[in-house]
Amino acid sequence: MTDRNNLARTDRDTLASTFESDGYVFFKGLISARALEDVRDGLRTIFAAYAEPGEDTFATITRLGMNEKDTFYRIYQFIARAFLATYRVRLECFEIAKQILPRGGSYIDIGSAVIFALPNDRRLIWDWHQETPYDAKIVDAVHFNYPIFERAHLGNGTMSLLKGSHKEGTLPYRKVRPTADSATSLVPEGMDKLVERYEKVDFVADPGDAIVFHNDMIHTSNLNTSGRPRITGLVRIAAIDRVPEVASWVDGKSY
């Protein structure tokens, strides 16, 4: 991050208070090498099955994303819903989630995933949004974002957030979907003013680093102009008392 509010994972008091005031916490080295290697191995294996001679994982992802969109989307869905390779990462993030959402009850995974921001392509990136409106009945949730293979930076379209903007609460929004095969962004109304009101912080991170942010945090992807896909893990964890009637990641994704 440009301002690192960097914490040791054991510092529970600071974690909760920083999260409350800033709406996010940046962790240097949250995710273990072993957990990260599980995800990398899993992804390499999946994409190797689609590789053309001489292609590495990045080249296969780029080609599928540009030319074989149905196959690419199918792989994305499988990874999002059934990918055991992210299990260790999710457990490591869960330890943090419990400190931020300490009320006990049941914890659920609300759609952890791997996203692929293709070079110079706006389909799989998100405009400014909050997470809460995607699943309005799930309020107590936190979201982790972590680079899997390579450093995340503005050049490859890493996410940015508006520090403290979670204090706005859940805002009215308009749906933005540039093309039929693009992700849907639920962009808060009055975004121009919000961007002026809050400090923009870019998530610059190395593999192993992670950010956790509030459900109402206003955040966005940036355009990846690096020529290589940015491969990013998401972990989404919520605390619930009862099973939600409608859940986007179970009933059909709206993102």
Ligand X SMILES: O=C(O)CCC(=O)C(=O)O
- Could you say which residues in the range 186-245 bind ligand X, by CB under 6 A? 219, 221, 232, 234
Please state at what angle helix 57-67 crosses helix 69-82, rounded to 10 degrees: 120
Using the rule CB under 6 A, is 108 a contact of ligand X?
no
Q: Mark the segment that binds ligand X (CB under 6 A) among 25-33, 73-81, 87-95, 123-131.
A: 123-131
Tokens 């972990």, residue? 235
Please give the Cα distance from 39 to 86 (Å, whole number).
5
Using the rule CB under 6 A, is 159 a contact of ligand X?
yes
**Choice from 126, 134, 149, 249 touching ligand X (CB under 6 A):** 126
Element (H, E) at 238: strand 230-240
Minimum separation from the CB atom of position 13 to ligand X (A): 26
Please give the Cα distance from 125 to 183 (Å, whole number).
7
Tokens 């992210």, residue? 86
Please give the Cα distance from 222 to 205 (Å, whole number).
14
Phi, psi of 127, rounded to the nearest 5 degrees:
-75, 180
Minimum separation from the CB atom of position 48 to ligand X (A): 24
Residue least distant from ligand X (Cβ):
221
Using the rule CB under 6 A, is 117 a contact of ligand X?
yes
**Choice from 125, 138, 186, 239 touching ligand X (CB under 6 A):** 125
Chain positions contacting ligand X, by CB under 6 A: 117, 125-126, 131, 143, 145, 159, 219, 221, 232, 234
